[in-house]
Amino acid sequence: MFDFVRKHTRLFQFILLILILPSFVLLGVEGYSRFMDGSNAAVATVDGQKITQAEWDAAQRQQVERMRQQAPTMDPKVFESPEVRKDVLENLVRERVLAAVVANEHRAITDEQLEEILRTDPQLAALRGPQAKQLLAAQGMTVDSFLQRLRQELQMNGVLGPIAQSALPTQASATLAFDALLQQRELQFQSFSAKDFAASLTPKDAELEAYYKEPKVSSKFQLPESADIEYVALDASALQAGVTVNADEVQKFYEQNKARYTTDEERRASHILIKAPEDMPAADKAKAKAKAEELLAEARKNPAGFAELAKKHSQDPGSAERGGDLDFFGKGAMVKPFEDAVYAMKKGEISNVVQSDFGYHIIQLTDVRGGQVRPFETVKADIETELRKQLAQKRYTELAEDFGNTVYEQSDSLKPAADKFKLTIQKATVQRKPAPDATGPLASPKLLEAVFDADSLKNKRNTAAIEAGGNQLVSARVVAYKPARVPPLAEVKAAVTAAWVQEHAAQAAKKAGEARLAELQKGGDAKGLGQPVTVSRAKPGVLPQKALDQVMRTDASKLPAFVGVDAGDGNYLVVKIDKVVARDPALIDAKRASEQYARAWSAVEMQSYYNVLKAEYKASIKPSVLQSVTASASAPAN
C-alpha cells in the first residue's frame, strides 16, 4: 500500500489540493442548507444568506482534522488559534461568494464535462483504473465524495481562473521589479546598544514610583483575576481501578467476538486491462474483448511471463509499468466484479476475462496474507481492559445522576460527595481561561465558566456537575477570589526596576546614536564605523529585519547617505550607505523572475476581482465577530 502511495505521489498531491485548497473549505451546498435550517445567529452573510456559528464551527473542525493529518507532531493549540479560526471564516465566505457566482451565472460543470476531464486529464490517470477506490480510500474519500469536491473546485476555479490567465506582465516589468526588490547596498554601520548603558543606570525610589504610576507601565504588571478552588471529579477511567473481571467472562467474550481478533485478509494481484468504457461502440467493445481473450490464452501458456505481458499490453497506466502489480488490497478497495474474481481465486491462478466498468481484465493472484485468528493469550489482556472499561462505564452511568444531585443538594461543601463516592478533594488556583499547560478538568472552559459565575463567586457554593471531558463530571467551589489588581510596587520592584533600566538605557543608546548620526551628516570622520558589508533583502547578513527594511527604503540617489535605524530590543544603528550594487544574477534568472512576477501579478488581479465580487454579493463578516477574534489573537497568555 505504501509503495502504491509513493508511486502515485503526484496524484495524491492533486487530491490533497482538492482537500485542503485554501480558498474552499468544501462543506458542500447540501451541508450549507442543513446548517441554514438551524437557529444559530449569523456570523457573516453572503448574497443575503447567512453563515451561522454552527457552519463556522463545522468548517473549523474539518480544517483542524486536515491540519492534524498533515502535521501530526505540531502543537494542537496552533490548530485552534484565533488566526486559524479567522482564516477558516474568511475561506468560508470566499467559497460562498464563488458558489453564488457559479449559481447566478450558470457556471455549473455538467456530468459530461466532468466525465471528459476524468477521461483526459493525465493527473487523474490512476483514478481511471480499478485501484481508484483504494487510492481514494487512503485519503478517507469515496468516489462520489471525490467527484463532488472535484466538481466544486472546477466550478469555483472557473470564476477566478480566467482572471489569473489574463494577467500579461512583460519581461521588462519583471526585470524592473526584481532589480528593485533584490538591489544590494554596500554600507558601514556603528551599533549603540542599550546593554552598554544599562550598567550606569540606577533609578531612585522616587523615579521608580513615578514610573510605576504611569498607566502604560503599571498595566504591564497587572495580575489577572483568579480564584482558589476545591474540586472533585467523577471519572469513568478512574473507576476502572476498582473493577474486577471474571476469567470466565474474558474467555466467553473471546469466543463470542473471534471475528474482532481475526486479521483482515488482503490479496495481491496483477492485472492486464484492455479498456472498454460503457460508452464505447459495441463493435469496438467486441474487439477489446477479443484482444483480452488472446492475451488470456498467452498468459496461461506462460504464467511466469505475466508481468512482461502486462507491461507490453495493459492499458492501465497506473500499474502497467509495474507489470500490472496492484500491491495488497482488502475488500471494498476494488470495483465489485474485479474483487469477486480475486477473492474466488487461489494463489497463482489466472482468472478468466473479467468485465468491469473500465473494460476487460485478466487477473493473476500473486499473494494472500491475513485472515488468521489471534490466539487467546495474545488478546487476553486487551479483553480484560475492555471489559473493565465497559463495567466502569456502566458504573459511571449509574453514579452520574447521584453525583449531580449530591453536589447540588449539599452545595455548601464538597466533602459529602467526596466521602460518598470515595473521591479526593483537589485544590488549584485558576483564571477565567485555561492555563497553557492545563490538563484534565482544569483545561475545561465550561468548568472555569461555572467557577467564575457571579453566584459561585459571591456565595461560594458548589457548581453544578459539569461535563469537563468524556465520561468525566466535575464540581468545584470557590474558596477565595482575587479580583484583577495592580500589585504594590514592593511586590514587583525588581521587575519594575529592570523595565525602567531597559527603557532608559534604550533612550540613552538612541540619543548617543542620533548624536553620532548628526556628526557624520556634518562631515565627521568615519572612525567607529565597521568594515564595509553588502546587504540585500535576500541576503541581510548581520542586519536585523527591522533595520534592513529601513536601510533598503532610504533614498540612495545621493551617496554617501546616512540613516539612523531603530533596530529594536534597545539597539540603535548609525548606517553609512556607500554604494548601490545591482542585484546578484545568481539569485534568480530572467525566466524564473518573469514566472514569479507573473504569478504575483495574477494573485493581485484575482484578489482585486474577488474584492469586487464580495462587494457585488454583499459579503461581510459581522464586526463583533472580527473584533472578538482579533481580541483573542492579541490577548496575552495567562
Interatomic CA distance for residues 97 and 23, integer angstroms: 11
Residue 38 pLDDT more than 90?
no
Single out the residue of 488, 372, 499, 477 nearest to residue 416, CA to CA.
477
Ramachandran region, residue 63 (left: φ > 0; alpha: ψ -120 to 50; beta: rest): alpha
Q: Which three cell numbers stand for residue 634?
A: 492579541
Mean pLDDT confidence for 170-184: 79
Pairwise CA distance, residues 203 & 494, whole Å? 11
- Taking only the tens place, the pLDDT of each residue in 584-595 is 877 777 777 777
**pLDDT value of residue 485:** 93
- Tell whether omega for the bond before 560 is within 30 degrees of 0, i.e. cis: yes
The identity of residue 47, as a single letter, is D
pLDDT band at 161 (very low <50, low <70, confident <90, very high): confident
Span 93-117, average pLDDT:
86
Residue 169 pLDDT > 80, yes or no?
Answer: no
- With cut-offs at 50, 70 and 90, classify the pLDDT of residue 138: low
Q: φ and ψ at 435, to 5 degrees?
A: -65, 150
Per-residue pLDDT averaged across 85-101, rounded? 90
Q: How far apart are CA 210 and CA 208, in angstroms?
A: 5
Mean pLDDT of the chain: 85
Residue 127, pLDDT above cutoff 80 = no
Buried/exposed code over 357-370 (b: 16+ C-beta within 10 A; e: otherwise): ebbbbbbbbbebee
**Confidence (pLDDT) at 447:** 95
**Of 77-86, 153-162, 501-510, 599-608, highest mean pLDDT:** 501-510
Task: Name residue 170's amino acid.
Answer: T
Q: How confident is the model at residue 278 (pLDDT cuts 50, 70, 90)?
A: confident
For 602-614, write each residue's pLDDT tens digit: 888 888 889 999 9
pLDDT of the residue at 140: 67
Adjacency order of strands within the sheet including 49-52: 49-52, 42-46, 620-621
Q: Are 181 and 537 in contact (CB under 8 A)?
A: yes
Q: Confidence class of residue 510 from pLDDT cuts 50, 70 and 90? A: very high
Share of the chain above pLDDT 70, in %: 89
Confidence tier at 5 by pLDDT (50, 70, 90):
very low
Query: For the stretch 419-450, what's the b/e string if a residue is b when 16 or more beta carbons lie within 10 angstroms of its beta carbon?
Result: eebebeebebebbebbeeeeebbbebeebbeb
Q: Which of 386, 373, 111 is nearest to 245 (CA)?
A: 386
The helix/strand count (H/E) of the chain reads as 26, 15
Are the beta carbons of 32 and 85 closer than 8 angstroms?
A: no
Which residue, 534, 512, 538, 617, is CA-closest to 579? Answer: 534
Q: Which of 460, 434, 479 is nearest to 227 (CA)?
A: 479
Amino acid identity at 417:
A
Whether the CA torsion 508, 514, 515, 520 is positive or negative: it is positive
**pLDDT at res. 71:** 73
How many residues are given for the chain? Answer: 638
The string over 299-326, giving b where at least 16 C-beta atoms fall within 10 Å of a residue's C-beta and e elsewhere, is: beeeeeebbebbeebbbbebbbebbbbb
Average of per-residue pLDDT across 86-114: 88
How far is Cα 99 from Cα 156, in angstroms, rounded to an integer? 7
Are 426 and 439 a contacting pair, CB within 8 Å? no
> What pLDDT, on the 0 to 100 scale, is given for residue 36?
33
